[in-house]
Amino acid sequence: MLRVRIRRLWLSLGPILQCAIAAGIGWWFALDVLGHQQPFFAPIAAMISLGLSLGRRWRRSVELVGGVTIGILIGDLLITEIGSGTWQIVVVVALAMSVAVFLDDGPLIPMQAASSAVLVATLLPPGGIGGFHRAIDALTGGLIGILVGALLPANPASRARRDAASVLATARDAARQLAEGMRSGNEPTVFAALETVRGTQGAINTMRQDMSGGREISTISPLYWGSRMRLQRLSATADPIDNGVRNFRIIARRALGITQRGETIRPELVEIIGDLGGAFEVLREMMLADPGKSPDAADAARVLRTIARKAKIELAEERGMSETALLAEIRSLLVDLLMVAGLRRSSAIATLRWPNGSPGDQHAAG
């Protein structure tokens, strides 16, 4: 548990440093350059526009500035006329959030509008030029946050690569555990493998978010304009990884049912499931390898083609529905993993072509 916490902190050090620097610069600029008194909206805007997440920073900054502006203007206009108190806060918050929701469906704008309106209604003197200063501070802070993100960016590829590698490592461990449980007929071990792979969706969502954020950084930061193509190729693996893990969950569920029913499975099928652990591992290493280093996509594809040759249709001949369905899911998973290794979907399906275009081939394509 401690190791997980330390790793989480380590991965967040870059964004934390960005937020800290942006907050300091935002405060200094609004106080000393613009001459605004107590410009705390500037560092707040700078921090929120960056955040710990890499994804959708432009969108977050626009929502922040819009929300702060709405809250300040409504708070200033209303509190100046109706005064400050309990029912006044109710009115100001309701109106600020209503205007924000009407203007945009983003989740940040209504909350920022409400919090800004509350600050004006309770702690800050409303009215006058100060209200415009606060809106300017929010705009300044948001722009400074984006500027810091562009000039001091986290490596847009490294975080996404680590995310993908982590998901693949979890799937690797689950595949090996599943094969072990099926060999021994140990239901708790099979169930544990299923639970392990079921818990990956949060990590997959984070991976997708960081891939999107990485593309954004490579667009706005001159330091990483040369990484755009690499980020595009990396982002292209998001769907196949997600689909592959989902398919593996289905395999694990089928394996659990088979184990619970005490059915006999061909040792070759169990061996292929164990081999999937090796496939996930080579893909994990591929994600972490620097450009030009091994294993690369070609290395991973060779490993997967070897497994694909083992997963032949003949394994399902004269066998029950359970084995046939399990083999079909394995082949479908291999299509996804071949796409992670860089193959087009049509090429991946061709690698696993079922004889005579049988329905199983269509399942693998689905």
3-state secondary structure of 1: coil
Look up residue 161 and give its two tokens.
């690569």
Confidence (pLDDT) at 357: 42
Confidence (pLDDT) at 362: 38
Confidence (pLDDT) at 298: 92
d(CA 254, CA 326): 7
Under-50 pLDDT residues of the chain: 354-366
Confidence (pLDDT) at 366: 35
Confidence (pLDDT) at 29: 93
Confidence (pLDDT) at 5: 81
Cβ neighbours of residue 29 closer than 8 Å, sequence gap 6 or more: 42, 140, 144
Domain ranges within the chain, ordered by starting residue: 13-151, 158-365
Confidence (pLDDT) at 223: 64
Confidence (pLDDT) at 336: 95
Can you give the pTM of this predicted structure? 0.68
d(CA 90, CA 19): 32
User: In terms of Cα–Cα distance, which of 165, 177, 292, 157 is closest to 224?
Assistant: 157
Integer CA distances (angstroms), 148 to 17, 27, 268, in order: 10, 14, 55
Confidence (pLDDT) at 36: 86
User: What confidence tens digit (pLDDT) does each residue in 332-361 have?
Assistant: 999 999 999 989 999 988 888 644 444 333
User: In terms of Cα–Cα distance, which of 344, 304, 285 is closest to 161?
Assistant: 285
Mean pLDDT (the chain) is 82
The CATH number assigned to the domain with range 158-365 reads 1.20.58
Cβ neighbours of residue 232 closer than 8 Å, sequence gap 6 or more: 215
Integer CA distances (angstroms), 73 to 43, 248, 289, in order: 19, 53, 51
Q: Running DSSP on this structure, what letter comes out for residue 199?
A: T
Confidence (pLDDT) at 127: 54
Confidence (pLDDT) at 182: 93
Confidence (pLDDT) at 359: 38
